[in-house]
Amino acid sequence: MMDLHIEEETYMKYYIGIDLGGTNIVAGVVNESYEILAKASVKTNLPRPEEEIAADMAKVSQEAAEKAGLTMADIEWIGVGTPGVANSATGVIEYSNNLGFNNTPMVKYLETALGKPTFIENDANAAAYGEYVAGAAKGAKNAVCITLGTGVGAGIVIDGKIYSGSNFGGAEVGHTVISVDGPQCTCGRKGCFEVYSSATGLVRMTKEALAANPESAMKDEERISARTAFNYMRAGDATAKQVVDDYIKYLAAGITNTINIFQPDILCIGGGVCNEGDPLLVPMKEIVKKEVYTRNSAKNTEIVIAKLGNDAGIIGAAFLGNAHD
C-alpha cells in the first residue's frame, strides 16, 4: 500500500490557472484533484501595455509554483480566463474593452515567457468550466452557469467542451432581450436579461421603486445596494417586496429562456445575490417549473447554486487544456 501511495504522488499532475481581471491578476496552482495548492496575485493596474500585463502574469505563475513547492518543470500547462473575446484556437485576445486589449497575442507572450503550452478562454466560460469539472455542475453532461454580478455573465459546456460559438463571442445569455422597450443596456440594446437580473439592475429597480413610493421604509437607507430590497422585504416593506417579486420574475424569465434553448442537465447560478437563499430561489424555481417548455417531462433541468465562488475561474482556467476539441 505504501508503494502505491508514493506512485500516486509521483504521477500527480499540476496545472496553473490564471484569472486575469480588471483589478487583480491571480494565478493558482491546481492539482488533478482540482485542489488549489497555492495562489499568487498582483494588481492589474490598468491602463498598462499588454506586454507588461503578460509579464506580470508569467511572474505570478512562477510565484504560485514556488509557493506550492514546484517549478515550471512540474506544470503541465497554463490556462487563462480573460474578460472579452478570447480566440481559444489562435490564442489571441481579440478584444477586451475592460483591459484595453485589441488582438493581444496572449498565448504567444506566455509560452515565450514560461515555456509551457498555454490556453485562453473568456473568463465567464472559464468559471463555468470550473463549476463543471469541480463544482456545482460536476457530473453533468451539459451545463450552463450564469453569474449575477455587475453584469450577467454566462458560460456553456456541452458534452464536456466549452461552447463559445463560431467566433468565440457566444454564450452572451445576459444580452438576450426580455423586454424590447425595456431600460437601456450597456451593450446598446434595450431590456436585456442583464439590465434586470444583474446586481446593478436590482439596485436600479430598487431606486426606481423608492422614487415612485417615497413612503417606503427604504428611504432611511443611506446607500441602496443589491441587498436593500431583500432586507426591507423581510422587515415587511411592501415596496421592497414588489421589487423582489419583480426581480424574481425577470430572473425566472431569463433562466427559463436559457433552459428552453439548451436544456442542460444542470443550470448553475452564482453571484452575491444568490446568498439571499430560499426567498430568492424557491419562488424563482416555482416560476421556471411552471413556464419551462418541458414542464411536463419526467426529467427537467436542475437549478443549483454555484459552489466555487472566485476559485471557479482559476480552477476552470487550469483545466482549459481539456475544454476544447
Of all residues in the chain, what percent are helix, strand and coil, respectively (each to 5)? 45, 25, 35
CB closer to Zn ion out of 195 and 233: 195
Contact with Zn ion (CB under 5 A) among 12, 158, 187, 212 = 187
Pick the piece of the chain touching Zn ion (CB under 5 A) from 119-127, 169-177, 197-205, 222-230: 169-177
Question: How many other C-beta atoms can be found within 10 angstroms of the C-beta atom of residue 230?
Answer: 22
- The 10 Å CB-count burial string (b at 16+, else e) for 111-137 is bebbebebbbbbbbbbbbbbbbbbbbb
Task: Please report, for residues 16, 124, 135, 171, the alpha-carbon distance to residue 261 in angstroms, rounded to integers and kept in the order given.
Answer: 33, 19, 23, 11
Peptide bond into 279 cis (omega under 30): no
CB of 192 to Zn ion, least distance (A): 3
Q: Is the dihedral of CA 60, 65, 71, 74 positive or negative?
A: negative
CB of 74 to Zn ion, least distance (A): 43
| Nearby residues of 116 by Cβ (< 8 Å), 6 or more positions away | 16, 72, 75, 76, 77, 78, 110
Contact with Zn ion (CB under 5 A) among 85, 178, 185, 280 = 185
175 is an interface residue for Zn ion by CB under 5 A: yes
CB closer to Zn ion out of 189 and 227: 189
Pick the piece of the chain touching Zn ion (CB under 5 A) from 30-38, 106-114, 188-196, 233-241: 188-196
CB closer to Zn ion out of 186 and 263: 186
What span, in angstroms and rounded, lies between the C-alpha atoms of 318 and 107?
Answer: 14
Q: Per the structure block, which three cell numbers stand in for 253?
A: 424569465
CB of 125 to Zn ion, least distance (A): 18
Pick the piece of the chain touching Zn ion (CB under 5 A) from 126-134, 142-150, 180-188, 264-272: 180-188
CB of 167 to Zn ion, least distance (A): 17
Strands 302-305 and 266-270: parallel
CA 203 to chain centre: 20
Pick the piece of the chain touching Zn ion (CB under 5 A) from 16-24, 67-75, 153-161, 185-193: 185-193
CB closer to Zn ion out of 179 and 263: 179
Pick the piece of the chain touching Zn ion (CB under 5 A) from 155-163, 178-186, 228-236, 263-271: 178-186
HSE of 133, CA atoms in CB hemisphere, 13 A: 27
What span, in angstroms and rounded, lies between the C-alpha atoms of 206 and 228?
Answer: 8
CB closer to Zn ion out of 164 and 200: 200
Total residues contacting Zn ion by CB under 5 A comes to 5
CB closer to Zn ion out of 192 and 210: 192
3-state secondary structure of 52: helix
Q: Per the structure block, which three cell numbers stand in for 192?
A: 436585456
70 is an interface residue for Zn ion by CB under 5 A: no
Pick the piece of the chain touching Zn ion (CB under 5 A) from 13-21, 159-167, 173-181, 302-310: 173-181
CB closer to Zn ion out of 19 and 194: 194
Q: What is the DSSP letter of 45?
A: -
Contact with Zn ion (CB under 5 A) among 86, 145, 192, 284 = 192
158 is an interface residue for Zn ion by CB under 5 A: no
Nearest to 197 by CA among 153, 136, 263, 138: 153
CB closer to Zn ion out of 82 and 197: 197
Binding residues vs Zn ion (CB under 5 A): 175, 185, 187, 189, 192
